[in-house]
Structure 1
Amino acid sequence: MFNLAISLAGTSIALIFTDRFPGWTFKGLFSCIFGINFSIQLFWDILIYPNFVTPLRYVPCVPGTVSQLHILMDSPRGQLPLKWMRTIPNNGLIRFRDIFRHSHLIATNHQALLDIMSTNTYDFEKPWKAREFLARIIGFGLILSEGNAHRVQRKALTPAFNIKNIRSLYTLMWEKTNILIDELEKEVKENPMEGTNTNSSVGKVEMSVWASRLTLDIIGPVAMGRDFQSLTHKENKVADSFLRILEPTKEKLIFLAVNFIFPQWFASRLPWKLNRVVNEETGYLRSVCHEIVQEKRRALQSQKADTSELDADILGTIMLRGEFSDDELVDQMLTFLAAGHETTASALTWACYLLCQYPDVQNRLRQEIHDTIPSSNSPITWTQLEAMPLLNGVCQEVLRLYPTVPNTVREAVRDTVVAGVSVPRGTMITLSPYAINRSPHFWGDTGAEFIPERWIDTDEKGNKTVNHNGGAPTNFAQITFLHGQRSCIGKDFARAELRCAVAGVVGRFMMEMQDPNQEIHIAGAVTTKPRDGMHLKMTAVDGW
């Protein structure tokens, strides 16, 4: 309505000028109307609306101008929002303005997070530019779907992730963890530390690559019934493709920024090597997923596989429902392959890092593991792993301090309300798991510290027991997996996978940093990874 008023006002002013200067041509008149309308609109957008009209004008504001690029290029990502949460008094929202004076919001308290992630979930969507770029990598699966499409997909996929199904997967996870342990022992012997012999049990390991291969070999059978065997085959195209796409470099972060700022029709055509890398590697991954979907489809049509066999993995389960086309199934498999292994791989890498920084915690955790599980070859149960207080405390702290996706952005697709504030359509809102998970509002002065004991209670008999809130006043104090209708559907799977991996690695190895003075930088374009890898000194523990 206001734009129409501006247009009418500009046109009226231009017509007054034409009365005064009757010799003007049509082209001159058009240029005059356009120039006046543009000037009025600019005056309104930059000066009047952001300062005197927007309902967001009373929200506490960060001084100066801040662009989304500042948030994206922040190192570590989430540090700026955390700084503002610590220093700017607010009632659930903090505002910052870009160079065009547009207001952006950051959610900071329970009510704001509840409104965005639960109460008014579908009032917010991922910005189209971000979705379009990410879809090149992971397809338009569950993570990138919005509105009714998301409701339908979530309903169809949820049964595959119920807690009973997840707990039945502990055997597979433990089996793969043991393969990882064996491969790590070989690596230790092949790469002894300086001053030790080739048969030494002390050697060098770059952990982030091994973590990624472990989780890929777990999600493959779970998602699509395909064991990629990347742990035992160093030349593995699927693992290498993900590595080339997600390996943390400064160039990839800049590439991400360009793709978030410019439309895909432009960004994807830039003569940039990374465009070719993304196209080649995602093309290969998509072809693998398509091949597997076709194999399942033929088995279903020929009835060579019975229902129980097809229902043994996520792909088979959703194919039996008949709600997705083959292209949609490929998108879902790409999503599960990428998100399903990258989350836990990142968490396992950071778990090893933190345990190197806190050797006392590492030693106590190893003792708890040995007291509960006689050896790595012993079968395990979900009750064992889920009831180990320190193991759960360590895993929860890792997920809290190092969320795989440190920031995510939502756009209000209609006028809505957040924490009692009217939020106009088109407003961008940043959700920062990195900042929320460390916020003193939820966690006090120790929010940035690694304290596994915050997740451990003591019962009336003095026994240590698991708690699931870390002492925080709300579940929204930790949003690594988000909450509500858009929460990560595989969060329980990821937690189970991490428990198995940490129990196996810590049970078998003592870990130190190869270089105790190395400064580890949190990097990564889409997910968080150590910039130059995680180079550990690992010592095999006898008798387990």
Structure 2
Amino acid sequence: MMEITPINVIAISLFESAATFYLFPQVWPGGTLASFIAVFLALNLSFYAFYKLVVYPFFRSPFRHLPHPPTRGWPILGHGLVMFQRPAGESHLKFIKETENDGLIAWRSFFHVDRLLVTGPAAIADVLVHNSYDYEKPPWTRNFLRIFLGDGLLLTEGDDHKHQRKHIMPAFHFRHIKELYPVFWSKSIELCDSIKAELHDKPDSAIDIGHLSTQVTMDIIGMAGLGRDIGSLRNSDDELIKNYEEILQPTYERFAYFVLHLLLPRRVIRALPWKLNESVEITTSNLKRICTDFVAEKKSRMKMESQESKDILSIMLRSNNFSDDNLVDQLLTFLAAGHETTSSALTWATHLLATHPEIQTRLRAEIHENIPDPAALSDPSFDIPSLLESLPYLNAVCKEVLRLYPTLPVSARFAIRDTTITGQFVPKGTLLLIVPWATNRDPKLWGPDSEVFRPERWLDTSTGRAAMGGAESNYAFLTFFHGPRSCIGQVFARAELRALVAAVAGQFEMRMADPTEKIRVGGTITSKPINGMRLRLTPVVWGSAPGVGK
């Protein structure tokens, strides 16, 4: 059956107009061909609008029998306004709580266009693993992200994605990540030294941990990814940090900029007299220039190095599978995703520990008991990975932080062909949402305390599911997704977070600068606190009684 589209409607209107005008002129004596076209076009477009707004969604859609949210959407707008609500994913969590479902919830967006919310483990497995290449990131989202990330692994699809992932994967092998732990630990200690230096000058000052988190994670990805000490912690005016903070700043203006790219062609937005357009052009040009210089510098240095470097860029260069331009695109992706993921996680970790002092105290006790001297871990012969990976409460805290505050709270997928999800037919062109924020907090998967910060859920052996936080399926935890499109750097990010949390919790007692402040979650793509994360940090004598400041 021919699909009804606006182009088809126009073509049919032209045919009807010409046929009527020439064969049945008595229908409208004196009417011109143009008037016939106008009338038929108006009638057919009216019928088309009625079909799309009423007939198809309510009587013909393959999703009409699926569970829908009980709250009525607005006429024409449907539930489309949820895309503007913050925190991203919170409205979808409400849908899940209010709607009995077996893994799929259907809802209607603007103009009653069908949308699917994927909620159950079996449905999530179908989308992310079993039929993963039936779905792609929506073209409009990729076009927006390509402005900042180029054509790196994150934005490629199909065979191109398979090729890139295959040749990048060796750089993220778990054995290689273990070799990077000394970098993670040394930079974590450098972060603590920077905090102490700032406190020495202003002992009573509140510290924005978000900015410092960005600096330290950028330094780590610099060393581990490029074999280059960017030195952001030593240089508060670092160009790379300034450019990324400019891009990722969680303001309403940047959110509006993102939304407009979902609705309008980029050329239209660039034509607007909007200062942000100029700012984005400057920032993205700066980042591409910096990454181009990094690649050229690395290629030059490798010719003179006596032994093989173990950083990610060196491994990719030695593979000879990437052009210089593609290396620059991969670098843009790794620098952005590589530092933002853990920067965000560390920021939320300090917030959760600051607002749960009993958990903070227990964590510090475990760290001090197992690491009598943090300087000892700087010894090249010390087995840092085995130590940090063996600390049960540290790992439980890190997993719980990642569960409650996934860096990417909402991710869309676009069906590129007719397919199915748990037996439900999904036509080509359907947009569906995978929502880590909602799935990771779904009480059906995590129990009645699903939104409570409780690291102990990862230690409770009574259920036999401690490794999954007590959930019955590993698809209940979506922070790094699953399958061929899962986060390639998740082992890297987890190891990095372990080191950072251990160092910071071991050396500082954390409190919120304003205990009454209600932290608001914002961000355009990632989850970030809108007004930063201001803490009061008190240095702790390592090895002293937990929580005793000095």
C-alpha distance in 2 between matches for 1:125 and 1:533: 33
225-234 vs 289-298, which moves further: 289-298
Query: Partner residue of 2:347?
Result: 349
Query: Partner residue of 2:516?
Result: 517
Q: How does 1:373-522 map to 2 (within 5 A)?
A: 373-379=371-377, 381-457=384-460, 467-522=466-521
1-10 vs 175-184, which moves further: 1-10
Query: Partner residue of 2:298?
Result: 296
Query: Partner residue of 1:280?
Result: 282
Contact 2:368–2:542 at 8 Å: present in 1 too? no
Query: Partner residue of 1:197?
Result: none
Which of 122, 129, 135 lines up with 2:140 in the alignment? 129
Which of 41, 44, 57 lines up with 2:51 in the alignment? 44
Q: Do the aligned partners of residues 260 and 8 (structure 1) sit closer, same or farther apart at CA in structure 2, a change above 3 Å counting?
A: closer
Say whether 1:234 aligns with 2:232. Answer: no
Which of 7, 18, 21 lines up with 2:28 in the alignment? 21
Which of 366, 369, 376 lines up with 2:367 in the alignment? 369
Q: Which one-letter code corresponds to 1:26 in the other structure?
A: L
Q: Which one-letter code corresponds to 1:263 in the other structure?
A: P
Q: Normalising by the residue count of structure 1, what TM-score does the alignment of the two structures yield?
A: 0.92
Q: Give the CA deviation at 1:409.
A: 1.0
Gaps spanning 5+ residues in structure 1: where? 194-202, 460-464
Deviations 1:33-90 (A, max 9, x none): 4334323322322222212222111111232246686333212111110011011111
Query: Partner residue of 1:323?
Result: 321
Q: Do the aligned partners of residues 207 and 67 (structure 1) sit closer, same or farther apart at CA in structure 2, a change above 3 Å counting?
A: farther
Deviations 1:229-264 (A, max 9, x none): 001111211111111111121222122111222121
Contact 2:121–2:476 at 8 Å: present in 1 too? yes
473-482 vs 57-66, which moves further: 57-66
Q: Give the CA deviation at 1:13.
A: 4.8
Deviations 1:419-454 (A, max 9, x none): 221111111111111000000121011110111001
Contact 1:404–1:527 at 8 Å: present in 2 too? yes
Query: Partner residue of 1:537?
Result: 536
Contact 2:270–2:277 at 8 Å: present in 1 too? yes
C-alpha distance in 1 between matches for 2:534 and 2:301: 44
Q: Normalising by the residue count of structure 2, what TM-score does the alignment of the two structures yield?
A: 0.91
Contact 1:417–1:423 at 8 Å: present in 2 too? yes
C-alpha distance in 1 between matches for 2:175 and 2:51: 57
Q: Which one-letter code corresponds to 2:288 in the other structure?
A: R
Q: Do the aligned partners of residues 341 and 24 (structure 1) sit closer, same or farther apart at CA in structure 2, a change above 3 Å counting?
A: same
Q: Do the aligned partners of residues 297 and 13 (structure 1) sit closer, same or farther apart at CA in structure 2, a change above 3 Å counting?
A: same
Q: Give the CA deviation at 1:117.
A: 0.6
1:231 counterpart SS class? helix
527-536 vs 340-349, which moves further: 527-536
Contact 2:21–2:33 at 8 Å: present in 1 too? no
2:472 counterpart SS class? coil
Q: Give the CA deviation at 1:299.
A: 5.0
Contact 1:138–1:334 at 8 Å: present in 2 too? yes
C-alpha distance in 2 between matches for 1:97 and 1:39: 20
C-alpha distance in 2 between matches for 1:489 and 1:36: 52
Q: Do the aligned partners of residues 286 and 2 (structure 1) sit closer, same or farther apart at CA in structure 2, a change above 3 Å counting?
A: closer
Q: Do the aligned partners of residues 413 and 68 (structure 1) sit closer, same or farther apart at CA in structure 2, a change above 3 Å counting?
A: farther
Query: Partner residue of 2:105?
Result: 94
1:410 counterpart SS class? strand
Count of paired positions: 527
C-alpha distance in 2 between matches for 1:466 and 1:351: 23
Deviations 1:189-219 (A, max 9, x none): 22222xxxxxxxxx52110000111100000
1:417 counterpart SS class? strand
C-alpha distance in 2 between matches for 1:493 and 1:250: 31
C-alpha distance in 1 between matches for 2:159 and 2:444: 34
Aligned-residue CA RMSD (Å): 2.1
Which of 337, 340, 354 lines up with 1:339 in the alignment? 337
Query: Partner residue of 1:198?
Result: none
Contact 1:392–1:466 at 8 Å: present in 2 too? no
Taking every aligned residue pair, what percent have the same amino acid on both sides? 40
Contact 1:129–1:262 at 8 Å: present in 2 too? no
1:347 counterpart SS class? helix
360-369 vs 145-154, which moves further: 145-154
Q: How does 1:189-208 map to 2 (within 5 A)?
A: 189-193=200-204, 203-208=205-210
C-alpha distance in 2 between matches for 1:449 and 1:299: 49
Query: Partner residue of 1:253?
Result: 255
Gaps spanning 5+ residues in structure 2: where? 378-382, 544-550
Which of 43, 51, 60 lines up with 1:53 in the alignment? 60
Query: Partner residue of 1:140?
Result: 151
Which of 87, 90, 108 lines up with 1:79 in the alignment? 90
